[in-house]
Structure 1
Amino acid sequence: MKKQSNKTKFPASFRVPGMAKTSIALGVSTAMLMPMGAARADDDVEMKPVTVVERAFDHNPYAEPDAPYKAKKSGDERRTRPLAETPATIQVMTKTQIEDSGYTDLRDILDAQPGITLGTGENGNAFGDRYIIRGYEARSDTFVDGLRDPGMTIRESFAVEQVEVSKGPSSSFAGRGTVGGAINAITKQATVDYDFTKVSAGVGTDSYGRVTLDANHVVNDNVALRANVLYGYQQVPDRDPADRERKGVALSGLFKPTDKLDILVDYYGLRAEDRPDLGSWLTGTVPNRRPMANSPVYAQNGDFLTSDVDTLTGRIKYKITPNLRLTNLTRYGRSENGYVATGANASSTLTNLNLTTHSGWQDVDYFVNQTSLGWDTTIAGMKHDFIFSLEYTDHKVLNGLYEIGGVVRGANSPSQSNVPVALAQTALDRTNVTKNTANWDIDWQAKAISVSAMDTVDLTEKWTAFAGVRYDKTDISLRTRQAALPTGTQPPQGTINDYGSQNAGMWNSHFGLVYKFLPYANVYAAYGSAADLNGGESDVGSSSGYGGMVTYNGSAAGAKPEKTENFELGTKWNLLGEKLLVTAAIFQTTKSDVMEGANYAAAGTFNTGKNRVQGIELGLAGNVTDKLSAFAGVAFMESEVLDSWTAANVGKRLSNFADITASAQLRYQLTPKFALGTAAKYESEKYAGQPDTAAGFNATTGLYSQPVPAYTVVDAFADYRVTKRAKVRLNVGNVFNADYYLAGYRSGAFVYKGDAINARLTLNYDF
């Protein structure tokens, strides 16, 4: 016999409903390979051994079996077909791929993906993390299990099965915003399919320590409980005393009273606290403007960046008939975000520093209820998958400033000037930081009622059409107030500005047509739209150039919703027994009626902007060979401002936009026990500036004024299976210790530094 390869790896124990828990050994006897009832022709015939090529068993129900870097389907039930048959660019990072990478924060996971860049927070126009997809802001377009997650928090991956990034306008799925796309984190949930308990413990350089627990317990055929627990700490590599601490717990319970009814309840809690490092700053003049090299760490003893998150979600799924199902999701959540961060700048000689204080807190309360009816039927001989949805959301956000030593500090509040570099880490020890809700400065609320209808229909054996329409009736209200600022004597808080509300009904749609010209390959054409209401961002008040409300004569301006349209042509190849997905797409996204209003006072500036992003994106995910797994992609894009109230902006590129972004993660199973891998990411030069308006530009020199340099970073990892239950993994981040920068503030006052070289050793044990 020819030597065979059996690549399926079973868990050490698994459970099928109605059966006792069973243990399966990782081995195959020659007798098992004989056809049933077959007799030996010769008792002396020697059967050659079977080689079992081990791959990680992934409990993720959406992953492709035995292809740990490839997702088979979306966790969003509204996408009824496999990803290989869906007419859209949807990039999915599986749990196994995320674990191999060594990244744990969502910001780092997304930054390693093509077509995505980062912006700055901490008074760089956002709380928490700031993501940019295909050139467009997405900091408010993050979803958890298909429901919007409005708290601009630090987001962790310990309770995540996979992270999905839908590229292109997605308002028919996700509602307002979602101009460049949407991010959807699919969480780990209880299951009655099997028992397991997994513990992971890691240590590393820079005082790194991380422990996680993932345990699923099947009580009986109808009840299961799952718990995920996290504790992690590390100093920011080579940036002491900046550090990061994470504590988290995610609990879920599945109850199946009948064969038709599933009830799933889960709680998610995270306590994240960093001492933030605002990195370096830009110095010099173009064309020689660049980040200050060897900038000191100016994080102070009292600096912090915190996210406290609590959410409770209930899911009810009822199968009315085999072809008719009802799903209801209800979530209530609260997040409290806050930061006090020290910024610095200096002359090109780096003699003395000028320190500034950035401060802010944000309380977020949100409620959402989504009800969907799925109906699979045949009409005129064609199979239809209908999804009808009704959704109600109520989001409330209160922003404010901290009192530091009895004085309220805001963005860029002066702290000290001409501070010696040697004292930068110990100056301004802020031990008296007070959150006084009386010092609020932005009171924002958004309510929406949404209805949608979607259909996937097989027109013929080779042609499939996808279509959907959504209507959102949205109301956004805003009040602002000038909080007290330090001027020697504390002035009273300013008058409240009540801008009233801005409301509009917004229609959005998507359409896709897929032609399956081979059993494993297709081409598709797709259209999608998005819309965003005036004042859609919750953290910037009336700073309309950053998504805040455009106001006129003291009230919300009568601005139209911004409108975005996307056209995409692509192809998907599901190769090697559906273990490898190769994709290619060409796209053009045009955003019109852009609300440029920042710094303008005339009504004529409303809806005056228009811009465009176009490009090509290539990707692959899955098993390249029996031993090589890969996840890779590259995006070649260009952006252009087409219209603007400021004529000088026309023809310029968008801010925080990289023309080329690429990444690759490879894992090679050298032996059944030993695997090694590498990951690399590249991002071309980009330029800071105001979103949608244009990157900062120097008319005198004819050059962009706030450059963030291109970078390439290489990571490496290896793992070894010690026993059937125990495996160790070594991750080395930034192997060549590249000095690189992730994002820059519009003035160049600070640019985020990427992590220096670091190493982590992790033990994974399955009980």
Structure 2
Amino acid sequence: MSKPTQDAGIRRPASLRTLATPAASPALRSGLALGLSAAMLAPLAATAQTAAATPGAATAKKDETQLPEVKTRAQVIDPNPNAQTGVPYKARTSGDSRHTRPLAETPQTITVITKAAIDESGVSDLRSLLDAQPGITLGTGENGNAFGDRYIIRGQEARSDVFVDGLRDPGMTTRESFALEQIEVSKGPNSSFAGRGTVGGAVNAITKQATLDYDFKRLSASVGSDGALRGTLDLNHIFSDQMALRINALHGQEDVPGRAPSERRRQGLALSGVYEFGKDRQVTLDYYGLRAYDRLDLGSYLVGTVPNRGPANPVPPAYAQEQDFLNSKVDTVTARVKWRLDDNRVITSLTRYGTTDNGYIVTGARSATAYSGTGTTGAYTTASLSTHNAWQEVEYFAHQTNLQWNNQLFGLKNELILGAELSDHKVERGTYAITNSGAFNCRTSGTATANNGYCIYDSTGAVVSGLSNLMGRGYTQNIWASHWQVKTLALSAMDTMDFTDKLSGFAGLRVDRFDFDFTTRNITTLAVVDYRYNDTLFNGHLGLTYKLKPNLIVYGTVSSASDINGGESDVGTNSGYGGLIIDPSNGAINAQPEKSTNLEVGTKWDLMDGKLLASAAVFHTVKRGVMEGSGYASAGTANSGKNRVYGLELSLVGALTDKLSGQLGLTTMKSTVLASATAANVGLPLSNFADHSASAQLKYQANDAIAFGGMVKYESARCAGQPDTAAGYTNGTCGQPVPDYTTLDLFASYRFNRALEARVNVLNVTDKDYYLAAYRSGSFLYKGDARAVRVTVDYKF
């Protein structure tokens, strides 16, 4: 049997190669339908060819030319097994097999960003993709910590709650989308699925896997403003009926729009090989590697006093130093096994080993007063530069095995999943020893008799010359200053039950036993202090769904999450950012796990024959026993805080009409600190919290060749402060405000033929100055990218 090619546009029948999940999932039924369609069309095609060679063949030939070939291929060629056929922005199922029902029947808010939505957005890094999603805001790291990004979901920290194919990714690194099929954001406490943390939710990146369905080759090349160049390759090759290999490669570079010579560079490679041992066993081996080399500054800063405090105007020039860097090196290997024991039982397992090396030296700026003479004479306003740096080396191992067992229990249909997970995450962290050879150019103290600082502006308000090499940095890497390690063994059980043909239930329970080990070392005296403890976490999830119609459900759910003291590996004993809190009287660790509970009621309506999903949900989350930080000190307060977040989420995803597709969402919510060791915090909102956010990504297919669309996103004002505590207010007014913003992106595409398509993206069309997050002191303010233009050509062969 010869292998099918992309030009054939036909998959091998699923019955010949698919490792089916029990009780024929919807994805399997779609595969079977496509396979049967191919089998039925084959003899028809042969008949047409025979007729063409005989009198009267004209009619057959005419019929053949009228076949909707392009549309059929568009439905078949998407290799994402979770995609909704023919609907580019809508996923039908989750990439996490523990969600056994379609997303339209899952009693939880789950936002999915498909590969089509990623490509047409014109952006590729995870931070930009998630920031566009309602209910998610960004924060800054401790002292400008540049290890990855801080995601905040429904007001709760989530920077360590990023997963890849259901396994936690502790790398805290730059994250790219070139090797992803889709990105899933689960909203609300999620520890029954994901373990510790996950108070506001979790991000799960679903990677591209080798497929035995068909061969394909896809090449994408982009050029644009700001010296942008980007190329990606996605190639799947079938060697036999049992073996296939998929290769994804990336090379990209660009100046940061509006901030040159700041720049971003990316190189990536993802390999996936699959082999089937008969029809019941399948093994997949994956490798993922990414090299990210960036040079960035920390953007703008806040000026003025309350109530007239806001971003510096004009925006400061790019001040990144030539020696600055933000580098990430990621290497992971994953082995996957899928074994169908019988029609009702399937075992799946993932085993991953990975390393991540991160390092950065970046420059920040803050408003300052400088002096051109001694004493207090000659004072002028400027901005002084500061240095932020750290390195970390991450090593991790994780294994997860799940048994899905479909059965009849007490006369009820059950989809039972029993799981076990083992993980060992280790992080060594340190700093760089930095020497500056550049001459000081300003006095930052009125009593200074000589220059003692580095400033952006001179006394006339002009930008100083040689700004990008003002500090003349040199550096060496110090020895490690902290070693963080968490070992976890988890057991879980989940069951989806059909009580009647309309009423279904979901129940999940997870137990995590962890051992925490944190060692600090004074890099001068080499004195070592070791902190250890262990504990057990219990979390659960209950949900009910009721089908008002076959395509309309209402649901109610309650779920919990737990987080541990010292759970953030990137901040050591800085208690204000999730670091370890230590009792100052005896150095002991007395904190109990933080506990969160979420109540959610919602509805999901699958419209237009499953092509459009409308969702609405109201939620109420309470977090108790919050560990509150105390600046940079390790002596925070244990379990003294409590906060609440409640709100409404609306979404509409899929085909709005035959020609208009979209993903629209709106979140409105409120946060309140209910208890705190600092009495003045009670009643205030959480830091870095947006009350309102909305986005709409739309695509209009004017005809077979032309499409256009864009994205508009809105985020209301936020107030900076320490995570998990009140925003920084002064006399009832936010002291560190981040203004609201609305941005607009546009795109247009033209399909020349089945193989060739070109697209133009214009990002931040109005060239708006907007800001993503502020440090709690306002000394730096992350700035969004300026307007950028990208031209992309996609070629499929």
Could you tell me which residue of structure 1 aligns to residue 222 of structure 2? 202
Check conservation: 1:502, 1:534, Cα contact below 8 A: no
In the other structure, the counterpart of 1:392 is 422
- Give the match's secondary structure for 1:84: helix
Given candidates 626, 629, 633, the residue that maps to 2:658 is 626
2:785 and 2:754 mapped to 1: Cα distance? Answer: 34
For residues 628 and 226 of structure 1, what CA distance do their matches in structure 2 show?
32
DSSP 3-state at the match of 1:245 = strand
Determine the structure 2 residue equivalent to 1:416. 453
Amino acid at match of 2:477: K
**Aligned position for 2:514:** 474
Q: Cα offset for 1:60?
A: 1.1
1:70 aligns to what SS in structure 2? coil
Query: Out of 245, 264, 274, which is 2:265 matched to?
Result: 245
In 1: Cα distance, 2:66 partner to 2:342 partner: 48
Q: Which protein is richer in helix relative to its size?
A: 2
Q: 2:708 aligns with which of 672, 676, 681?
A: 676
Aligned residues: 725
Cα distance in 1 between the residues matched to 2:328 and 2:252: 14
Q: Tell which deviates more after alignment, 337-346 or 122-131.
A: 122-131
Alpha-carbon shift at residue 556 of structure 1 (Å):
3.9
Counterpart residue number, 2:122: 102
Q: Is residue 15–residue 195 contact of structure 1 (8 Å, CA) maintained in 2?
A: no
* 1:544 Cα deviation after fit: 1.9
Q: What are the residue-to-residue correspondences of 1:647-658 with 2, within 5 Å?
A: 647-658=679-690
Which residue does the alignment assign to 1:307? 328
Deviation, 1:258, is 1.7
1:255 positional shift: 0.7
Checking the alignment, whether the CA contact within 8 Å between 1:501 and 1:556 is kept in structure 2 is no
1:444 corresponds to which of 477, 484, 487: 484
2:760 aligned with 1:762: no
Provide the rounded CA distance (Å) in 2 between the counterparts of 1:604 and 1:106: 32
Return the offset for 1:350: 8.0
Measure the CA separation in 2 of the matches of 1:451 and 1:224: 33
Unaligned runs of 5+ residues in structure 2 are 1-5, 18-34, 49-55, 370-378, 438-443, 445-451, 458-462
Asked if structure 2 preserves the Cα contact closer than 8 Å seen for 1:549 and 1:556, the reply is: no
Structure 2 residue corresponding to 1:155, chosen from 156, 175, 185: 175
Post-superposition shift, 1:53? Answer: 7.8
Match of 2:475 in 1: 433
Name the CA shift for 1:304/1:599 in 2 (closer, same or farther; >3 Å).
Answer: closer
How far is the alpha carbon of 1:497 from its aligned partner? Answer: 2.7
Q: In structure 2, what is the Cα distance between the partners aligned to 1:477 and 1:708?
A: 37
Query: What one-letter code is carried by the residue in structure 2 that aligns with 1:453?
Result: A
2:580 and 2:634 in contact (8 A); partners too: no
Question: Could you tell me how far apart the structure 1 residues matched to 2:697 and 2:757 are?
Answer: 20
| Distance in 1 between residues matched to 2:119 and 2:586, nearest whole Å | 51
Q: Report the equivalent of 1:343.
A: 364
Task: Look up the match of 2:493.
Answer: 453
Q: CA deviation at 1:435?
A: 2.3
Written as runs of structure 1 = structure 2, the 5 A alignment for 1:55-94 is 57-94=77-114
| CA 1:471–1:726: 2 relative to 1, 3 Å | same
Please state if 1:726 is matched with 2:756.
yes
Give yes or no for the alignment of 1:296 onto 2:317. Answer: yes
Cα pair distance change 1:698/1:216, threshold 3 Å: same
Q: 1:503 to 1:204 in 2, by over 3 A?
A: same
Q: Is the 8 A contact 1:126 1:540 kept in 2?
A: no
The offset of 1:479, in angstroms, is 1.8
Distance 1:185 1:300, change over 3 A: same
Q: Deviation of residue 404 (structure 1)?
A: 2.5
Match of 1:659 among 675, 691, 716: 691
Is 2:295 the partner of 1:275? yes
**SS of equivalent to 1:110:** helix
Residue identity opposite 1:682 in structure 2: Y
Give, in whole Å, the separation in 1 of the partners of 2:708 and 2:142: 37
| Partner in structure 2 of residue 328 of structure 1 | 349
CA separation of 1:406/1:315 partners in 2, compared to 1, >3 Å: closer, same or farther?
farther
Do residues 533 (structure 1) and 564 (structure 2) align? Answer: yes
1:295 Cα deviation from its structure 2 partner: 1.1
Q: Which of the numbers 732, 740, 751 marks the counterpart of 2:781?
A: 751
Matching of residue 716 in structure 1 with residue 737 in structure 2? no
Query: CA contact under 8 A between 1:730 and 1:761: conserved in structure 2?
Result: yes
How many angstroms apart in 2 are the aligned matches of 1:605 and 1:97? Answer: 43
What is the identity, as a one-letter code, of the residue corresponding to 1:537? E
How far apart, CA to CA, are the structure 2 residues paired with 1:476 and 1:717?
A: 48
The match for 2:736 among 684, 706, 724 is 706
**Closer, same or farther: CA 231–324 of 1 in aligned 2, 3 Å:** same
Query: 1:16 pairs with 7, 12, 16, which one?
Result: 12
Q: Tell me which amino acid in the other structure corresponds to 1:393.
A: S
- Residues 404 and 430, structure 1, Cα contact 8 Å, conserved in 2: no
Aligned mate of 2:552, from 497, 521, 524: 521
Shift of 1:444: 0.7
Contact 1:270 1:307 in 2 (8 A): yes
Between 121-130 and 287-296, the greater mean CA deviation after superposition: 121-130
Matched position secondary structure for 1:724: coil
- Selected match of 2:721 from 686, 689, 700: 689
Q: TM-score, normalization: structure 1?
A: 0.90
Equivalents in 1 of 2:129, 2:396: separation in Å?
26
Secondary structure of 2:467's counterpart equals: coil
Deviation at 1:542, TM superposition (A): 1.3
Q: Give 5+ residue unaligned stretches, structure 1.
A: 1-9, 33-39, 408-413, 484-491
Letter of the structure 2 residue corresponding to residue 402 of structure 1: Y
Match for 2:672: what amino acid? E
Matched, 1:375 2:396: no
How far 1:322 sits from its partner (Å)? 1.3
Please show how residues 493-642 of structure 1 align to structure 2 within 5 Å.
493=525, 495-498=527-530, 500-552=531-583, 553=585, 555-598=587-630, 605-642=637-674
Deviation (angstroms), 1:418: 3.6
> Which shifted more, 343-352 or 542-551?
343-352
Quick one: structure 1 residues 557 and 222, their matched pair in 2 at CA, closer, same or farther if it must change by over 3 Å? same
Q: Tell me by how many angstroms 1:463 deviates.
A: 0.4
Counterpart of 2:546 in 1: which secondary structure? strand
Distance verdict in 2 for CA 1:493–1:207, change over 3 Å = farther
Alpha-carbon spacing, 1:749–1:424, altered in 2? closer, same or farther (3 Å): farther
Contact in 1 for aligned 2:573/2:633 (Cα 8 Å): no
Contact 1:605 1:645 in 2 (8 A): yes
Distance 1:156 1:181 in 2: 20
- What is the CA deviation profile of residues 107-161 of structure 1, one whole-angstrom value per residue up to 9, with x for unaligned ones? 0000000000011137335622110000001000000000000010000000000
Is the 8 Å Cα contact of residues 545 and 693 (structure 1) preserved in structure 2?
no
Deviation at 1:378, TM superposition (A): 1.2
Q: SS state of the match for residue 220, structure 1?
A: coil
| 2:252 is the counterpart of 1:232 | yes
Q: Which amino acid aligns with 1:417?
A: Y
Counterparts in 2 of 1:394 and 1:454: CA distance versus 1, 3 Å: same
Mapped to 2, the partners of 1:599 and 1:688 lie a distance apart of: 14
CA distance in 2, matches of 1:119, 1:375: 42
Q: 1:257 to 1:653 in 2, by over 3 A?
A: same
Normalising by structure 2, we get a TM-score of 0.87
- 1:357 and 1:562, CA in 2 relative to 1: closer, same or farther beyond 3 A? same
